[in-house]
Amino acid sequence: MIVSMWMTRELITIAPRTPLSEAAAIMNRRHIRRLPVVEYRDSGLFPLGIITSTDILHACPADINPFAVNTPPIVRLSVTAQEIMSRSLRTAAPETPIEDAARILRDGKISTLLVVQKNHLVGLLTESDIFRAFVGILESTGAGARLTFAVPEKEDIFGLLAPVALSLGVRITSLMTVKHDDRRLCVLRISGPKLDDFIDRVWKSGYNVLNVIKYTT
């Protein structure tokens, strides 16, 4: 899976000279916490920066909540988005693998990536989008079971499990491996009438089975 499959394409942006009071009102109205600051060019949106609700709060007097329904006039300062926006932008391309984008968010301790193609803003990827992507990978759909077990580093898991599944008429609906605590783990989802027989074969194979979850629907 890649970034373009999960990014937000319907972008809400502001110009550099947008007053903070207006930016706060947009965030309130659209129920969002961040706004890309862009320059409009003939070829598209050119990203200049990004501001968050936290940036706006820090820019206002401590006793003023710019997101309150009745914001006092004092908040309508001459401060604009370009004065407080972050110019150190973290970006990804539409074809970036979703796990690489997640790693950028994690390592940078940030919640948003601007998705850029040919220097123009085409989307926005947030931590919530990453959650949606990985839930889609791991969630159960229909009756079946999910097994998690430790495997040797260079083991051909599919080559070993596929013949067993074929002989029992069990369907492998997904298979992925992850590194955790210096171990390689296999997360396997299966469906079919002989799940218990398949699970028993995995147990007897010598693999360290960590978890088995059965789903009825």
User: What's the rounded Cα separation, in Å, for the pair 9 and 204?
Assistant: 48
Q: What is the pLDDT of residue 76?
A: 53
Task: Please give the domain boundaries of the chain with CATH numbers for all domains.
Answer: 3-134 (3.10.580.10), 140-215 (3.30.70.260)
What is residue 121's predicted lDDT score, i.e. its pLDDT? 97
CA distance 188 to 212: 10
How many whole angstroms separate alpha carbon 160 and alpha carbon 118? 44
> What is the pTM assigned to this prediction?
0.76
Which pLDDT score, from 0 to 100, does residue 182 have? 86
pLDDT for res 77: 58
pLDDT surpassing 80 at residue 207: yes
**184-211 burial, b if ≥16 CB within 10 A, otherwise e?**
ebbbbbbbbeebeebbebbeeeebeeee
State yes or no: pLDDT of 35 exceeds 60. Answer: yes
- Cα 132 to Cα 69, 111, 129, 144, distances in angstroms: 31, 14, 5, 21
pLDDT at residue 190, as a whole number: 92
Closest CA to 113 of 124, 122, 100, 98: 124
- Contacts by residues 202-206 (CB-CB < 8 Å, ≥ 24 positions apart): 202/147, 202/149, 202/161, 202/164, 205/160
For residues 151 and 183, give the distance between their C-alpha atoms in angstroms, rounded to a whole number.
8
Render pLDDT for 91-141 as a digit per residue (tens, 0 to 9).
999 999 999 999 999 999 999 999 999 999 999 999 999 999 888 877 766
Distance CA 131, CA 191 (A): 24
Q: What pLDDT does residue 134 have?
A: 84
Q: Which residue has the tokens 């051909």?
A: 156
CB 80 within 8 A of CB 14: no
Compute the distance between CA of residue 104 and CA of residue 129 in angstroms, rounded to an integer. 14
Question: What is the Cα Rg of the chain in Å?
Answer: 24
Letter string b/e over residues 11-29, b meaning 16 or more CB atoms within 10 A of that residue's CB? bebbeeebbbbebbeebee
Q: Could you read off the pLDDT of 135-145 as tens digits, one per residue?
A: 887 776 678 99
pLDDT in tens, 57-86: 888 877 777 777 666 554 555 789 999 999
pLDDT of res. 216: 81
Tell me what pLDDT residue 27 has.
Answer: 93
